[in-house]
Every structure is written in structure tokens, then in C-alpha cells.
Amino acid sequence: MSVQTASRTANAPLNQHQDPYPTRLARPLDMPWLKRQEAVVKGRDLDGPLDATQLDEFEDKGFLFEPDFLDAEEIEALREELAALLDRDDFRGEEFAVTEPHSQEIRSLFAVHCLSERLRRLAEDPRLTRRVAQILGGESYVHQSRINYKPGFEGQGFAWHSDFETWHAEDGMPAMHAVSASIVLTENHAFNGPLMLIPGSHRVFVPCLGETPEAHHKQSLKRQRFGVPGREALSELIRRGGIEAPTGAAGGLLLFDCNVLHGSNANMSPDPRSNVFFVFNRRDNACVAPYAAKAARPDFLAHRPGSGWSP
Amino acid sequence: MSVQTASRTANAPLNQHQDPYPTRLARPLDMPWLKRQEAVVKGRDLDGPLDATQLDEFEDKGFLFEPDFLDAEEIEALREELAALLDRDDFRGEEFAVTEPHSQEIRSLFAVHCLSERLRRLAEDPRLTRRVAQILGGESYVHQSRINYKPGFEGQGFAWHSDFETWHAEDGMPAMHAVSASIVLTENHAFNGPLMLIPGSHRVFVPCLGETPEAHHKQSLKRQRFGVPGREALSELIRRGGIEAPTGAAGGLLLFDCNVLHGSNANMSPDPRSNVFFVFNRRDNACVAPYAAKAARPDFLAHRPGSGWSP
């Protein structure tokens, strides 16, 4: 762990009293959720690939799916890159390489824009960064990157959660000025555990119960037990917005707000599910001390602007 | 456990050498599966509610879904009966009342046609028994009955399996002359863990690896680890037949062959999923000694013709 992480930890004030997004609480608040403070789409004045209808849809639902974002040649090149990265023996056992709960298969590899020149170029591709700027309303950096590989029959699901809840609590991300970009490299269908989202859930913040355990990320990346919203809030948000699971051919791009609730089910099919995932955070929203954890998570999970992480 | 169970156990020959369906093996066979010996639809000459097209569909896929089998009044009465049965304090802790792996909620209640007069009448309802006779080609009895309740957010999934594989191995069911009838009492949709089936998989028997542990049912009803087909066979059967998940309003009837591979995913929605489930076995196919287990399972899991089980 670097010196920078240590300094972020040293004077970590658990500044929950001025925090509009308190979470990891000892007891429930009186209300099921709190109002979101930030606008959702903040760069409507910027030129970019997304038109007004697409920005409206993102604002309304908290996500936008664009089929055919990549062409067949790009998909194939990325698949080869993924296979090569997941096959790297020197990554196995490293903290940034996360395996399935019941096997030694690599499930997620983090910090991939630092591990692969091709993925660094993809993270900086103007087709992505211009879309991101239209949503965030300013310059961004990569807060987190990863590739996910959910093997046939084996991939476990993820419980419903807001990424922002974790990034705020455990990484010290101050406000909701981040957006995730997930590019699917395999066909997504109803039976291979596609990402499910709750449209409209990004407009509220659902505080979660339970103090963050130390080194929580070591198990939360496998199976999340803290940072999971309560069932009453979930039920009401699903009653209002429903559940959507964008499916389609490889090469689609899903942009989703940092605070939209999402989850996934297990992969019941023989087909693997893999994707490339970048989180773009606005530069003026760089992380401070964690809001609800004793120490910040390692850099490979939460990069800083301009930091050059290497394994 | 009754005297009858003891006598089935006493002279249990592990008669695997003449068995066309060997399973729970120490090592894989040379082939991924074995041919089914029995016809699928055996009562085409009998009068009944199913027409030739429906029988063809059952024969082809291994299952048939009929929406609107029950009317609204019947559904409501059954729901009340379910709620009353799942609420019985005297059932909690009994072996025939199975709870979720991580909670004390009752997930399945077995032998319900012996616990409830209304469910006994439903099991004997000619709308069911006549359909069953058209498929099995003869008189049947209830081999197993249960109600399942999969609560919102909480219900776990089931891995792919053939029921016949378990009934043959652990209950001593000789041949494929059984059919299951599942009546859904809640709407089934894509996100509340509906039953998934592999069309056409009923035509082959996939032997499973691993010797049956003693008292296997005590954990297999919560999470199955033996009697799970291999991934290569599953992949190939899914490649040929795909996966289907019949969804629809409450009151639908799913009839499925004892050997069709099926499973389910977790319930990601707030909506519970409940159903009533009867297994009809042809009278001349009554169980003998288990084919791949040291002792037969308790009577509440595997009734005999004419037996009057009570808790």
C-alpha cells in the first residue's frame, strides 16, 4: 500500500455529521432513504455523441444501454486481451485478482487500465470520455477499472447495491459525480446472470445498516454482507420503478449512474459472461478520507487522479 | 421412521449391475449420458383433458405449461391454506418442514396431502389425475407432495437436476413412470426465480458422480451437492434444447416429466414465489430398495401406494 493511502487513513475523520449520505449505521433512520443532492446529467451544454433523448433516458432511469457500441473486430481484440489477462499466472493470488468463492477461477481483475495498454487506450477513448463528460459535466479520471468473467454455471450473483454507497463509505468519494461504463464482451441473455437495475433508484440514497468491518473488501468482493440496502426500501423502489435487465449481443455499452441500485443473479447457462468496466469520477470529486470505514481501501480499488498504480 | 421404511432398508441390495440408470458413481462413464428406456407419453388411448397437440408438446419437451388451470377463487383458497400451513408452530423444527439455509423461514413443507384435507382433495382432483393418467398410461399414487414458499429477496436457487435421478438413487423408484404437477400460486416472472427447464433433456439419463452420503436429504433439500449432472452433459443438452422458464399469472399448471432437467435462480424481486407440488408415480412403479444409497429416505419424502403417513 502506498504512502498516499497511509496519509488518507491517518487523519480519517468519520465525518458523518455533516454528511448528506450517512451509511453503515448502527440503527435505521426514521425514513427509508434520503434525497439525492446532485443533478444526474450535468453536461447538457457540451457537444458529444449522446443526444437529448438519450440524456433524458439516463436522467430518468439512471442508466442507458447502447447496443453495437463496439464492432466485431474490436470485440474480438478485447476478448483476446481479457483471455490473456485472466491467464496470467503472476496475477493469481494477488489482491487485485479476485477468485470465485468456491473455486480458484479469477472472477474479477482490477486496475486493468494500469495492467494493459489496450485497456488504458479504451479508458481514454473519446467515444467513452465524451459521453462521460456529457453526463458528469466536467473532466474525469478512472476511479476504478476491472474486467469481470462469470463462467458458465459457476458465476455467483451479486445482491442489490449502490456502488456510490460503497465508494462513499469505504473510498471517501464525496458526491454523486461518477458514472460507470460497462462494455459486454459476451451475449447477455436472461439465463447467464445479466446485470439487473432498478430504474429511478439513483434519485435516492438508501443508508445501509451495520458498521463496516476492517478490511471489508477482502470478502465483500466475493459476497457482500454490508452496504446492502434494507428490504423495505428495495421493495418500494422496485414497486415504483420495476427491474430491468438490458440484454443483447456482445459489444453493447451500459452507462449507469454511480448510485443506481443494481445486482445480478447466478449464471445458470453454459455461456460465460464477461465485461470490461470503468468508473469515471469527476476530477473535482476526488476521494477524501472514507466516510464510514476506519481505513481507505487499497489503491487498486480506488485510484486517485493522475496516480500511476502498478502491481 | 416407520417399520415399513426399516424393512425397505434391511435387505437393500445396491443392485447397480442390472440397473439401466446407474448413478452416484465413483468415476465417470465413457459416455455423457444413457438412453431413456421408457416411453414419455403412455396413455394416448385414454380419454382426458389433454389434446394430442398438448401430449405431443409434453413428449417433445418433457413439460407442458397450462395457464389459468385454477380460477381466482380456487387460487385464493389455496393461498390461505398455504399461509395457514406455513404458520403452524407445531411444524417448525419437524423434519418435513425445511427452512432456508440462512434463516428460520419455512421453504418447503412436505407430505402436504397428508397434512391438509384441501390439498388431499386437490391431489385427487380429476382435472389432475386424468391428465396424469394420459401421460403415465395407468393408475398413479402420490409419491411426494410439498408446498414451496420462496420469499421475496430471500429464496435461494436450485442447481440443475433430474428428480428421477434422486428418486431412483435415494428412494428406489425403478423406472421413469412419474410426472410432477406444479401449480403456481403467485405470478411467475423473470426476476422472482421461476423454474427453468431444459427442453428435451428428459430423453437421456445423466449419471451423476459421487457416492450418496448418509442422511443426504438433511442437507440436499437446502443445497444439493450430489445428484448434480456434469457440466459437459449440461452444456450439450442446453446447446440442443435451450432453456425455458414458463412465466405467467397465478393459477397456471406445469406438468413435467420426472427426468427433465430443471433448476431455478434466486429471487431478486420483492415478490414471493409459492407453489403446490405433487409427484404422481404409476402404481406398478412403486419404490423398491434405493439404487444408490445405503438407506431409503423417510416416508414424508417418498410415500408408498396406500400408505397413510402422518406427522
Q: What is the pLDDT of residue A96?
A: 93
**Pair type for strands A34-35 and A204-205:** antiparallel
Q: What is the pLDDT of residue B227?
A: 79
Confirm if B104 and B290 have CB atoms less than 8 A apart: no
Confirm if B277 and B146 have CB atoms less than 8 A apart: yes
Q: What is the pLDDT of residue A17?
A: 53
CB contact under 8 A, B263 and A265: no
Provide the pLDDT confidence category of residue B201 given band limits of 50, 70 and 90: very high
Provide the pLDDT confidence category of residue B123 given band limits of 50, 70 and 90: very high
Is the model's pLDDT at B218 over the cut of 70? no
Question: A7-21, A137-151, A293-307, B122-136: lowest mean pLDDT where?
Answer: A7-21
- Counting residues of chain A whose pLDDT is more than 90, the rounded percentage is 65
Q: Is residue A270 within 8 angstroms of chain B, CB to CB?
A: yes
Question: A75-79, A108-112, A188-192, B177-181: lowest mean pLDDT where?
Answer: A188-192
Give the model confidence (pLDDT) of B275-300 as tens digits: 999 999 999 999 999 999 988 888 89
Q: What is the pLDDT of residue B12?
A: 39
Q: What is the pLDDT of residue A101?
A: 67
Cα angle for residues B31, B36, B40 (degrees, 5° grid): 150
Give the mean model confidence (pLDDT) for residues B210-219: 73
Provide the pLDDT confidence category of residue B171 given band limits of 50, 70 and 90: very high
Q: What is the pLDDT of residue A219?
A: 62
| Domain assignments of chain A as residue spans, ordered by start | 50-301
What residue ranges in B111-244 does DSSP mark as E strands?
Answer: 140-150, 158-161, 178-184, 195-197, 204-205
The DSSP element (H or E) to which B235 belongs, if any, is helix B231-241
Task: Compare CB distances from B234 to A160, A239, A270 and report the shortest one's residue.
Answer: A270
> Which ipTM value was assigned to this complex?
0.82
Is the model's pLDDT at A8 over the cut of 50? no
Is the model's pLDDT at A13 over the cut of 60? no
User: Within a 10 A sphere around the Cβ of B39, how many other Cβ atoms?
Assistant: 12
* Residue A39: HSE in the Cβ half-sphere, 13 Å Cα cutoff: 10
| Distance, C-alpha B119 to centroid of its chain | 16
Grid cell 441500485 is found at A261
Is the model's pLDDT at A14 over the cut of 60? no
Give the mean model confidence (pLDDT) for residues A291-305: 90
User: Within a 10 A sphere around the Cβ of B80, how many other Cβ atoms?
Assistant: 11
Task: Compare CB distances from A231 to B153, B191, B235 and report the shortest one's residue.
Answer: B153
The DSSP element (H or E) to which A140 belongs, if any, is strand A140-150
The angle that helices B126-136 and B52-61 make with each other, rounded to 10 degrees, is 60
Is the model's pLDDT at A263 over the cut of 70? yes
Which superfamily is assigned to B50-301 in CATH? Answer: q2cbj1_9rhob like domain (2.60.120.620)
Give the mean model confidence (pLDDT) for residues A287-301: 91
Give the model confidence (pLDDT) of A95-105 as tens digits: 999 886 676 77
CB contact under 8 A, B269 and A243: yes
- Of A60, A39, A41, A61, give the one whose Cα is nearest residue A246: A61
Phi first, then psi: what are they for B187, rounded to 5°?
-60, 135
Q: Is residue A153 within 8 angstroms of chain B, CB to CB?
A: yes
Provide the pLDDT confidence category of residue B99 given band limits of 50, 70 and 90: confident
Q: Is residue B269 within 8 angstroms of chain A, CB to CB?
A: yes
Give the model confidence (pLDDT) of A52-77 as tens digits: 999 999 999 999 999 999 999 999 99
CB contact under 8 A, B231 and A153: yes
Is the model's pLDDT at A270 over the cut of 80? yes
Cα angle for residues A15, A16, A17 (degrees, 5° grid): 95
- Counting residues of chain A whose pLDDT is more than 70, the rounded percentage is 90
The average confidence (pLDDT) of chain A is 88
Q: What is the pLDDT of residue B3?
A: 31
What is the dihedral angle through the alpha carbons of B123, B124, B130, B131, rounded to the nearest 10 degrees?
0
Provide the pLDDT confidence category of residue B7 given band limits of 50, 70 and 90: very low
Provide the pLDDT confidence category of residue B251 given band limits of 50, 70 and 90: very high
Provide the pLDDT confidence category of residue A7 given band limits of 50, 70 and 90: very low
- Of B102, B192, B98, B109, give the one whose Cα is nearest residue B153: B192
List Cα–Cα distances, A249 to A56, A70, A71, A75, A189, in angstroms.
Answer: 24, 10, 11, 11, 8
Give the mean model confidence (pLDDT) for residues B136-165: 90
* Spatial separation of the C-alpha atoms in residues A36 and A164, rounded to whole Å: 11
Q: What is the pLDDT of residue A55?
A: 98
Task: Compare CB distances from A270 to B152, B238, B265 and report the shortest one's residue.
Answer: B238
* Spatial separation of the C-alpha atoms in residues A189 and A191, rounded to whole Å: 6
Q: What is the pLDDT of residue B9?
A: 39
DSSP character for B53? H
CB contact under 8 A, B266 and A157: yes
Q: What is the pLDDT of residue B17?
A: 53
Q: Is residue B206 within 8 angstroms of chain A, CB to CB?
A: no
Question: A35-49, A118-132, A201-215, B166-180: lowest mean pLDDT where?
Answer: A201-215
